[in-house]
């Protein structure tokens, strides 16, 4: 432990000790010590740990979580443990006993916050022991609140660093993002993670208006980030570049990343800020994402039995966070995931996870189930509507046998065949009969972050 105050080495020795002990900057108090840029992993000890030893660590940390729930107490989760017959810490042996504990859904957390305002009765610490507070965007209803102690933030920073490192990012690069701020905690978390890692954090405002989008565009033209912007609002920047007479690729350095085909088979990299923002990171050698098992038990669960589904099959993403000041126990994220346990040639020894989409974005029509992202991928293949940006919405199907109603704004391409081309793309990619309405540019709602693509009739 370094002392808080040192004899300042810059103080001349002949100063007679007038300055005395003064605060001195120690880099390790603000962030991690440097790594060898050539090493494979950010945290080799944790990421290549023997799986048996890691399993023992998980069980020890899960037992500590259960002990704290019973002894703090944490009333909400204590009720869940009691339902499973766990009344004493010795009633819980380890990870293998998690399956007996009932799942917790987001609505239960909302109810807890309403009944025990402002933060509910599922917290492990007092709000005033925390240093940061955030709310969900509330796109699915009343926002839920996230609270972080310094340790909780540190676990996210270290987890994010594993992801950045694996994807080839290194301290000294310039990265940029346009995450929302203030009550929504995502922007502060991402900015903090970049700064902790040692990356230049170029945080531009979300492009809620054309003027705000232009601020970001001008900043990128000036500072030229090493890692180009990617995000839900990328299309907004392409659209505003067109209005400004700028080429988004040549003038601004933007590019559209290669899109995996919809939601299926994407790497599982987040369980949401209210649970575990940087739960995993995409492997560069194998499909899926390596999961940070030292800080979470991740399960793919059959919600009716509470048991794990077989490896490789889709189940509900259920997360128990470990070693945090404020954790969650058997939290059902209400998204689909699949897990594989076979060893990975990259050398990391953790399990890998796949993300199958949010259940609220899962649509069903004409006997087919699909994600909104799959529909978007189909429409993106139509040149008439994809430039300068693809703007679209789907009406949530009411009758299974009716055509799927899709609304698409006119792009730069040929207007006459846009509807027919979109109908053909949806049939070809999803096997669904669609009724496509082509609208004038600027008709649909814009958003600086996540645009709601599913509208009700
Ligand atoms: Zn791997």
CA dihedral (28, 30, 32, 34) in degrees, to 10, reads: -70
- Rounded CA separation 429/414 (Å): 21
The rounded Å distance from CA 200 to ligand 1 centre is 27
* Report field, pTM of the whole predicted structure over 0.95: no
The rounded Å distance from CA 319 to ligand 1 centre is 21
The rounded Å distance from CA 282 to ligand 1 centre is 8
Q: How far is CA 208 from CA 201, 205, 215, 447, in A?
A: 20, 8, 11, 5
Place of tokens 């939601």: 263
Q: What is the pLDDT along the chain (457 residues), one digit of tens a residue?
A: 455 566 555 555 554 556 677 888 888 888 898 999 999 999 999 999 999 999 999 999 999 999 999 999 999 999 999 999 999 999 999 999 999 999 999 999 999 999 999 999 999 999 999 999 998 776 666 788 999 999 999 999 999 999 999 999 999 999 999 999 999 889 999 999 999 999 999 999 999 999 999 999 999 999 999 998 988 899 999 999 999 999 999 999 998 876 554 445 799 999 999 999 999 999 999 999 999 999 999 999 999 999 999 999 999 999 999 999 999 999 999 999 999 999 999 999 999 999 988 888 889 999 998 888 889 999 999 999 998 999 999 999 999 899 999 999 999 877 778 999 999 999 999 999 999 999 999 999 998 888 889 998 8
The rounded Å distance from CA 49 to ligand 1 centre is 13
**Contact in structure between 144 and 106 (CB atoms under 8 Å):** yes
- Crossing angle for the helix pair 150-166 and 186-197, nearest 10 degrees? 70
Cα 66–72–73 angle (5° rounding)? 80
The rounded Å distance from CA 175 to ligand 1 centre is 24
- Rounded CA separation 359/353 (Å): 17
Is the peptide bond preceding residue 235 cis, with omega within 30 degrees of 0? no
Residues with CB under 5 A from ligand 1 (ion): 283, 286, 344, 346, 348
Judged by DSSP in three states, 164 sits in helix
- E strand or H helix that includes residue 75: helix 75-83
Q: How far is CA 1 from CA 34, 243, 323, in A?
A: 18, 56, 21
The rounded Å distance from CA 273 to ligand 1 centre is 24
The rounded Å distance from CA 336 to ligand 1 centre is 21
The rounded Å distance from CA 280 to ligand 1 centre is 11
The rounded Å distance from CA 36 to ligand 1 centre is 20
Q: What is the DSSP string of 403-434?
A: PEEEEEE--SS-STTHHHHHHHHHHHHH---E
């Amino acid at each position: 432990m370094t002392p808080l105050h040192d004899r300042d080495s810059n103080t001349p020795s002949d100063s007679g000790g007038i300055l005395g002990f003064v605060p001195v900057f120690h880099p390790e108090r603000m962030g991690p010590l440097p790594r060898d840029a050539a090493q494979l992993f950010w945290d080799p000890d944790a990421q290549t740990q023997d799986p048996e030893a890691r399993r023992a660590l998980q069980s020890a940390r899960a037992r500590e979580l259960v002990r704290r729930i019973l002894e703090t107490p944490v009333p909400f989760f204590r009720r869940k443990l009691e339902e499973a017959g766990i009344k004493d810490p010795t009633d819980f042996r380890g990870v293998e006993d998690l399956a007996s504990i009932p799942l917790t859904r987001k609505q239960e957390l909302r109810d807890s916050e309403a009944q025990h305002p402002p933060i509910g009765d599922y917290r492990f610490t007092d709000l005033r022991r925390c240093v940061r507070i955030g709310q969900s965007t509330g796109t699915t209803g009343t926002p839920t609140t996230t609270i972080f102690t310094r340790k909780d933030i540190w676990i996210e920073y270290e987890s994010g660093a594993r992801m950045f490192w694996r994807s080839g990012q290194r301290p000294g690069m310039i990265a940029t993002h346009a995450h929302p701020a203030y009550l929504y905690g995502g922007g502060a978390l991402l900015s903090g993670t970049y700064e902790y890692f040692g990356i230049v954090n170029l945080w531009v405002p979300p492009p809620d208006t054309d003027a705000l989008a232009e601020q970001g565009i001008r900043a990128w033209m000036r500072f030229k980030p090493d890692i180009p912007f990617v995000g839900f609002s990328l299309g907004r920047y392409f659209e505003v570049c067109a209005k400004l007479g700028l080429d988004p690729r040549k003038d601004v350095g933007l590019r559209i990343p290669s899109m995996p085909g919809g939601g299926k088979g994407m790497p599982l990299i987040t369980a949401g800020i209210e649970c575990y923002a940087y739960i995993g990171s995409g492997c560069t050698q194998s499909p899926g994402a390596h999961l940070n098992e030292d800080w979470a038990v991740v399960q793919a669960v059959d919600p009716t039995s509470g048991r794990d589904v077989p490896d490789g099959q889709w189940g509900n993403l259920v997360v128990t966070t470990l070693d945090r000041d404020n954790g969650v126990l058997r939290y059902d994220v209400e998204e689909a995931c699949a897990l594989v346990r076979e060893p990975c040639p990259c050398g990391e020894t953790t399990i890998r996870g796949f993300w199958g989409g949010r259940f609220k974005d899962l649509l069903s029509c004409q006997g087919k189930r699909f994600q909104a992202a799959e529909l978007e991928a189909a429409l993106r293949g139509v040149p008439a509507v994809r430039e300068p940006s693809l703007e679209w919405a789907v009406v949530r199907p009411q009758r299974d046998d009716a055509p799927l109603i899709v609304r698409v704004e006119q792009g730069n391409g040929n207007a006459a065949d846009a509807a027919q081309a979109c109908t053909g793309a949806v049939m070809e990619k999803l096997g669904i009969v669609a009724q496509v309405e082509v609208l004038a540019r600027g008709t649909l709602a814009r958003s600086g972050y996540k645009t709601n693509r599913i509208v009700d009739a």
